[in-house]
Amino acid sequence: MRMTLAVAVLLALLPLGLPPYAMTLLTEALIMGLFAMSLDLMVGYARLISFGHAAAYGLGAYTCGNILLHTDIPLPLAVPMAGVFSGFIGIGIAWVCTQATGVSFSMLTLALAQLLYAVAFKWTSVTGASDGLAGIPRRPGPFGTTYFSTKIGFYYLTMACLFGSFLFARALVRSPFGAVLRGIRENEAKTLSLGYNTRLYKIAVVAASYILGGLAGALYAPFAGFANTELLFWLLSGQVLIMVIVGGTGTLVGPILGAAFFLLVQQQLSTYTDSWALFFGVIFIAFVLFAPEGILGLARRRRSVRSH
């Protein structure tokens, strides 16, 4: 708890000293961090490997984009609304995907995300097809405030979403519900035979994951000012899975660090080479081979070595 508070204070103070372009990068890192953390709920705590988590992000982004473009609902309300909507769709997606387990589950998540991607291409009136939604505004309010439309105000809104989500997710994994998820992760057949309706638990955790992932997408739309089909594309699903693994699965915090690390490497390398993804691939393989516990696990390992 003290650690969480310290990080929150640090992040809250950063805008005072950072130049605008760094603020933009930091805001994006927090959004990606939230997205990666949402996937960790599934991957790290229930061993539900999703190859289609972009679905949650894209759903949140398009929903929030439409709310902001076509209604007067203020930004700080539009964002959670889009998250909840994404969670509802997540229930349906989970209902289909949990018919299968293991690799088949993963393949179904990929298939459904690609289905949404195809729909986004065709449903011009809602998604703007290949042009996407442009000019998504940051609507003022509530109570007439324009604070959240500013660069710094938006940063604090993002930070609040990330910390709120983190506290929620942490409470979730520490609850009786979370204990059942760990049971599913380690031995699903046994968990079932103990009397838990494991499929229901899996659907519930996917829904929670979609709410938080949708929240991240919902922040991205007004952050970037646009939403397009790339937000539903399998490439993003793959990238966020890499962020989770590089950061450290089953830790919530690790994937946030993984996302920041990914963006930093991308930003640094892409100024030198177009094939930066190749280099990140090498980094990813190195992590899988030499530090499967991820960045957070590495940090913890070093700390415990030093204290001995």
Partner 1 sequence: MALLELQGLTKRYGGIVAVDNVTMSVEPGEVRAVIGPNGAGKTSLFHLITGVVKPTMGEIVFDGQRVTAMPAFSRCQLGMSRTFQITALFPEMSARENTRLAAQARDKQRWRPLGGGAVFAEASRRGDAALERLGLSHVAERQAGLLSHGDQRLLEVAMALAQQPRLLLMDEPTQGLSVEETAQAVEVLGGLFAGGGLTVLLVEHDMEVVFRLASKMTVLHRGSVIADGDPATVKADPVVQDAYLGGYT
End-to-end CA distance of the chain: 24
**Site of tokens 């690609």:** 114
Residue 168 CB, nearest approach to partner 1 (Å)? 8
Residues 6+ apart with CB under 8 A from 11: 30, 159
Residues within window 156-185 making contact with partner 1, judged by CB under 8 A? 171-172, 175-180, 182-183
Residue span binding partner 1 (CB under 8 A) among the ranges 54-62, 188-196, 255-263, 283-291: 188-196
The minimum distance between CB 185 and partner 1, in angstroms, equals: 9
Structure tokens, 49: 């490997």
Which is nearer to partner 1, 209 or 229 (by Cβ)? 209
Q: Name which position in 104, 119, 186, 273 contacts partner 1 (CB under 8 A).
A: 186
Determine which residue in the list 4, 118, 134, 190 makes contact with partner 1, applying CB under 8 A: 190
Residue 34's nearest CA partner among 268, 260, 277 is 260
Kindly state whether residue 273 participates in binding partner 1, applying the rule CB under 8 A: no
* Listed residue (225, 268, 178) closest to 61, CA to CA: 225
Q: How far is the CB of 81 from partner 1 (least distance, A)?
A: 21
How far apart are CB 46 and partner 1 at their closest, in Å? 13
Closer residue to partner 1 (CB): 121 or 168:
168
133 — phi, psi (to 5°)? -100, 125
Residue 170 Cβ, how far from partner 1 at the closest point, in Å? 10
Nearest residue (CB) to partner 1, 95 versus 279: 95
Among 71, 193, 268, 275, binds partner 1 (CB under 8 A): 193
Q: Report helix, strand or coil for 35.
A: helix
Is-contact 137 68, C-beta < 8 A?
yes
Q: Residue 102: exposed, middle, or buried by beta-carbon count in 10 A (0-12, 13-18, 19+)?
A: exposed
Residues 6+ apart with CB under 8 A from 46: 181, 184, 185, 201, 202, 205
Check binding of 84 to partner 1 (CB under 8 A). Answer: no
33 half-sphere exposure, CB direction, 13 A CA radius = 24
Q: Which residues of 237-256 are buried (b: 16+ CB within 10 A; e: fewer)?
A: bebbbbbbbbbbbbbbbbbb
Least Cβ distance, residue 207 to partner 1 (angstroms): 11
- The site string for partner 1 over 201-220 (x = CB under 8 A, - otherwise) reads x--x---x------------
Our finding on whether 192 is near partner 1 (CB under 8 A) is yes
Among 9, 103, 134, 194, binds partner 1 (CB under 8 A): 194
Measured CA to CA in angstroms, residue 233 lies from 52, 57, 149, 286 at distances of 8, 10, 28, 25
Least gap, CB of 182 to partner 1 (angstroms)? 7
Site residues for partner 1 per CB under 8 A: 171-172, 175-180, 182-183, 186-187, 189-198, 200-201, 204, 208
